[in-house]
Chains A and B, each alone.
Chain A
């Protein structure tokens, strides 16, 4: 049994402790917003926050989340940065196929939570671990800058 908090709610799951957090979220909790892309921390589609830090849930054993707070795309809107990022995503019509966007939003939210005025280099550093096959990178960059302005102004 592993216990952790997901989006403010205590969850107890009966899985092997080395099961990746991604598959606990998806297959045990049916929280499907967090996506499977590569399984080896190469694409960022599975990004969630663990005690506020962005992690690749496909390569994070659920045991690493024991007793900690996990925030997913379903809950990130409750954070100031996450709310601003999601609003900017909608404003800029960022998603195309949309599959990578949960991970993109989680990486962007983590960036803005600690850096309210990211430079292009900061955005590159924070976001280059997230692959988008539809090529929405320029819209992601614009949306992050807009969201940053809104978080700062809030």
Chain B
């Protein structure tokens, strides 16, 4: 079907929205939306997650946000498996905010922490199984037969006599039945969809034709587009604003000061941007006017030297007197998430409540936050979750959602707040920087007897505003990936020193603390292996005797990468293994280093043990994606400060890995019947140390500070 001219659909939209009042239908500009809405009217709602139409079309309603990880395919697959649905008739729809969609792991409706499959593996299958039982009961009723004599197959209930009724024909009757209290789930051996290769994503066609709607694609009648001039130094404030030139820009409607900065509201983005460029603002830079990366490094290093709260203590690290002792200090920088879609939100504060359209990972919390911002009840906040053009944790943060709502409240109009790429890069919520000092000890045989780490970094728990540092004073994200050191070392001691240079807003970044701590630990273990004169793979293996799943992925990656066998001249291997978010992942990187010192990553072999898989094709893509995300940061990623200002701004100085730098990636999945682990993040942590270890193998140079290119 061809898209209608924009002016027609806009007129149609005006008409629809006037009739619908507050209940705006998301996707209103999609061709065929009216047809879908009509079909929806006849659909039977079997439960909160599932509707079935008379024509056998099945709509799965998904409360989780689709940000590329494939959750809009995985959740329908979980339901379809137990429902015995005809997969070719399954479509997916984004849910609003409702208690039915609370993420069981978080206790709020939100997407992140690689929790989607882990949290919904059982509840969604139960929802599918319950619906199947209701459809069977409905068929048995209409046949006056015994439900035990009925079975299901591909969207049809079949009686032992051979009679058949489709789910579409049964849905209305089934929807009136009481859902069963207990349902029996399939034995994994019976799965026809789960764990099998070949099930395509449900969002591919929309994303290959420009039809998929992201937050930035929302247009409402009378909407203003806003950009904000943020204080150039974190914590700064505007002391005087001359907006005369800004207001003279054609299309600029209003300039307002809000807590986040000075906002220019205009008919479109370009006018708003030109208006912002024309603002004359005097800033009070506040306490951070001289904040610098050198100062930050110094503060963190002092924290790591002094130590802090004890996060883990085994054996007696003070009494251990190893034959050989090595010490090193490692450092990782602040990082921006840099989602492809710059941050944005459209908000409309009306008398009857607030409605927002946003690619958000945290629609549940947004409801509560915006009810406070707008002074309404949480139930009066409607959140329309759009496709997310990348999330990586950044879209868990509420700043664009709050900003748009504040501006709509002030102006009384629908407002789309847009971050430019520069705003996005300089918008804080960074992966925290960290300096970590480690000590390793070896006995006369080269066996590891001692490992200590002092981590100094800001606290994400405190920065989150929904967690607090625990009584022991150890930020769990600050030390994850190093406190849980899996190696069998008798004397082990971890400390955490909370340091908050500049009180910068830090945040969750794909794989969170593992993103830096796994680099520290897996690089340092490599140092210990070399100090012991042992092969880095064998050294790790010898310390993982009590960790079969760690050992399993380590061995699988090494085997598939031909560890120990010759490589082309100049190419060297590095290895690393990490457990995070419920899954184990080992990676072997093959790297050469050019005469100018620039590393090239040729190939990455990954082995992952994530328990049972829902969609192994998506698992492989997620691992590959996580590797690219981690490799980009490992090679190039750093947010630095000078005179209180972030030095990077856009993709020319905050570099991204590109097509010509992309390594070949192989992903091997360990067959498993264990419960599923997370998949969005576990591929990220091992790549930085695997590449750094390969660079050491190639050059003898140990890189202890990220990014690898300096």
Interface residues, chain A, CB within 8 Å of chain B? 9, 16, 19-20, 23, 26-40, 42-43, 45, 72-74, 77, 86, 89-90, 93-102, 105, 123-125, 127-141
Chain B residue with the shortest CB-CB distance to A106: B210
B421 CB contact (under 8 Å) in A38, A93, A96, A137: A38
B651 CB contact (under 8 Å) in A23, A43, A89, A93: A43
Q: Are A135 and B625 in contact (CB under 8 A)?
A: yes
Among the stretches B283-291, B319-327, B548-556, B657-665, the one at the interface with A is B657-665
Chain A residue with the shortest CB-CB distance to B665: A138
Given contacts A27-B268, A43-B651, A141-B659, contact A95 B67 (CB under 8 A): no
**Cβ contacts under 8 Å, A93 to chain B:** 200-201, 204, 617, 621
Cβ of B155 under 8 Å from chain A: no
Q: Are B268 and A40 in contact (CB under 8 A)?
A: no
A140 CA / B659 CA spacing, docked (Å): 9
A90 CB contact (under 8 Å) in B204, B219, B664: B204
User: Most chain-B Cβ atoms within 10 A of its Cβ — which of A99, A132, A140?
Assistant: A99
Q: Are A32 and B213 in contact (CB under 8 A)?
A: yes
Q: Are A128 and B659 in contact (CB under 8 A)?
A: yes
Tell me the chain B residues, 661-677 only, with Cβ under 8 Å from chain A.
662, 664-665
**Cβ contacts under 8 Å, B5 to chain A:** 9
Q: Are A27 and B390 in contact (CB under 8 A)?
A: no
B210 CB contact (under 8 Å) in A23, A73, A128, A135: A73
Tell me the chain B residues, 171-222 only, with Cβ under 8 Å from chain A.
200-201, 203-214, 216-217, 219
B629 CB contact (under 8 Å) in A27, A35, A131, A135: A135
Chain B residue with the shortest CB-CB distance to A38: B421
A56 CA / B270 CA spacing, docked (Å): 16
Chain B residue with the shortest CB-CB distance to A19: B270
Tell me the chain B residues, 213-237 only, with Cβ under 8 Å from chain A.
213-214, 216-217, 219, 225
Q: Are B268 and A134 in contact (CB under 8 A)?
A: no
Q: Are B421 and A95 in contact (CB under 8 A)?
A: no
Chain A residue with the shortest CB-CB distance to B249: A16
Q: Are A123 and B6 in contact (CB under 8 A)?
A: no
**Cβ contacts under 8 Å, B203 to chain A:** 95, 98
Main DSSP-derived SS at the B contact region = loop
Which 3 A-B pairs rank lowest in CB-CB distance, beginning with the nearest? A33-B210, A135-B628, A99-B389
User: Most chain-A Cβ atoms within 10 A of its Cβ — which of B6, B389, B657?
Assistant: B389
A5 CA / B340 CA spacing, docked (Å): 28
Given contacts A95-B208, A124-B659, contact A133 B217 (CB under 8 A): no
Q: Are B421 and A32 in contact (CB under 8 A)?
A: no
Cβ of B624 under 8 Å from chain A: yes
**Cβ contacts under 8 Å, B69 to chain A:** 96
Cβ of B10 under 8 Å from chain A: yes
Given contacts A16-B250, A36-B342, A93-B617, contact A137 B204 (CB under 8 A): no
Q: Are B628 and A30 in contact (CB under 8 A)?
A: no
A36 CA / B418 CA spacing, docked (Å): 10
Given contacts A37-B342, A93-B201, A135-B624, contact A30 B29 (CB under 8 A): yes
A130 CA / B657 CA spacing, docked (Å): 10
Residue contacts A-B, CB under 8 angstroms, 30 given = A23-B268, A28-B268, A29-B6, A30-B9, A35-B341, A38-B650, A38-B651, A40-B650, A40-B652, A72-B210, A74-B210, A77-B209, A86-B209, A89-B208, A90-B204, A93-B201, A96-B69, A98-B203, A98-B207, A99-B390, A100-B340, A105-B208, A130-B659, A131-B656, A132-B628, A133-B339, A133-B390, A135-B629, A137-B662, A141-B662
**Cβ contacts under 8 Å, A133 to chain B:** 338-340, 390, 392, 629, 656
Cβ of B70 under 8 Å from chain A: yes
Given contacts A38-B650, A94-B208, contact A139 B621 (CB under 8 A): yes
**Cβ contacts under 8 Å, B617 to chain A:** 93
**Cβ contacts under 8 Å, B657 to chain A:** 135
**Cβ contacts under 8 Å, A129 to chain B:** 658
Q: Are A99 and B659 in contact (CB under 8 A)?
A: no
Q: Are B268 and A137 in contact (CB under 8 A)?
A: no
Nearest Cβ distance between residue A92 and chain B, in whole angstroms?
A: 9
Q: Are A98 and B650 in contact (CB under 8 A)?
A: no
Q: Are A97 and B389 in contact (CB under 8 A)?
A: yes
Q: Are A131 and B340 in contact (CB under 8 A)?
A: yes
Q: Are B269 and A131 in contact (CB under 8 A)?
A: no
Given contacts A30-B10, A33-B211, A140-B659, contact A39 B340 (CB under 8 A): no
Q: Are B6 and A30 in contact (CB under 8 A)?
A: yes
A139 CA / B200 CA spacing, docked (Å): 14
Q: Are B389 and A98 in contact (CB under 8 A)?
A: yes
Given contacts A97-B387, A133-B338, A133-B390, contact A32 B210 (CB under 8 A): yes
A130 CA / B662 CA spacing, docked (Å): 13
**Cβ contacts under 8 Å, A20 to chain B:** 270
Q: Are B6 and A97 in contact (CB under 8 A)?
A: no
Chain B contributes a number of interface residues (CB within 8 A of A) equal to 67
User: Most chain-A Cβ atoms within 10 A of its Cβ — which of B9, B29, B216, B662?
Assistant: B662
Chain B residue with the shortest CB-CB distance to A98: B207
Q: Are A31 and B6 in contact (CB under 8 A)?
A: yes
User: Most chain-A Cβ atoms within 10 A of its Cβ — which of B66, B209, B338, B339?
Assistant: B209
A104 CA / B466 CA spacing, docked (Å): 38
B214 CB contact (under 8 Å) in A42, A99, A127: A99
Q: Are B207 and A95 in contact (CB under 8 A)?
A: yes
Nearest Cβ distance between residue B105 and chain A, in whole angstroms?
A: 22
Additional pairs, 19, CB under 8 Å, beyond known A42-B652, A127-B659, A133-B392 = A23-B270, A27-B268, A30-B9, A30-B29, A34-B210, A35-B340, A37-B340, A40-B652, A43-B651, A73-B210, A95-B208, A96-B68, A98-B203, A98-B208, A99-B390, A131-B658, A134-B628, A137-B659, A138-B662
A93 CA / B69 CA spacing, docked (Å): 13
Q: Are B67 and A97 in contact (CB under 8 A)?
A: yes
A36 CA / B29 CA spacing, docked (Å): 19
Given contacts A37-B421, A98-B68, A134-B625, contact A89 B340 (CB under 8 A): no
Cβ of B420 under 8 Å from chain A: yes
**Cβ contacts under 8 Å, B206 to chain A:** 98
Q: Are B625 and A89 in contact (CB under 8 A)?
A: no
Cβ of B388 under 8 Å from chain A: yes
Nearest Cβ distance between residue A129 and chain B, in whole angstroms?
A: 8
**Cβ contacts under 8 Å, A125 to chain B:** 660
Chain B residue with the shortest CB-CB distance to A20: B270
Nearest Cβ distance between residue B169 and chain A, in whole angstroms?
A: 31
Q: Are B204 and A36 in contact (CB under 8 A)?
A: no
Tell me the chain B residues, 552-584 only, with Cβ under 8 Å from chain A.
none
A133 CA / B391 CA spacing, docked (Å): 10
Nearest Cβ distance between residue A23 and chain B, in whole angstroms?
A: 4
Q: Are B650 and A42 in contact (CB under 8 A)?
A: yes
**Cβ contacts under 8 Å, B216 to chain A:** 32, 35-36
User: Most chain-B Cβ atoms within 10 A of its Cβ — which of A31, A45, A101, A141?
Assistant: A101
**Cβ contacts under 8 Å, B67 to chain A:** 97
Nearest Cβ distance between residue A119 and chain B, in whole angstroms?
A: 13
A86 CA / B204 CA spacing, docked (Å): 10
Chain A residue with the shortest CB-CB distance to B653: A42
Chain A residue with the shortest CB-CB distance to B200: A93
A39 CB contact (under 8 Å) in B420, B625, B656: B420
**Cβ contacts under 8 Å, B219 to chain A:** 30, 32
Chain A residue with the shortest CB-CB distance to B627: A135
Nearest Cβ distance between residue A153 and chain B, in whole angstroms?
A: 20
**Cβ contacts under 8 Å, B207 to chain A:** 95, 98, 101
User: Most chain-A Cβ atoms within 10 A of its Cβ — which of B206, B211, B342, B658?
Assistant: B658
A33 CA / B626 CA spacing, docked (Å): 26
A74 CA / B213 CA spacing, docked (Å): 13
| Residues 504-529 of chain B, each 1 if its beta carbon lies under 8 Å from chain A, else 0 | 00000000000000000000000000
Chain B residue with the shortest CB-CB distance to A105: B208
**Cβ contacts under 8 Å, B212 to chain A:** 98
Cβ of B3 under 8 Å from chain A: yes
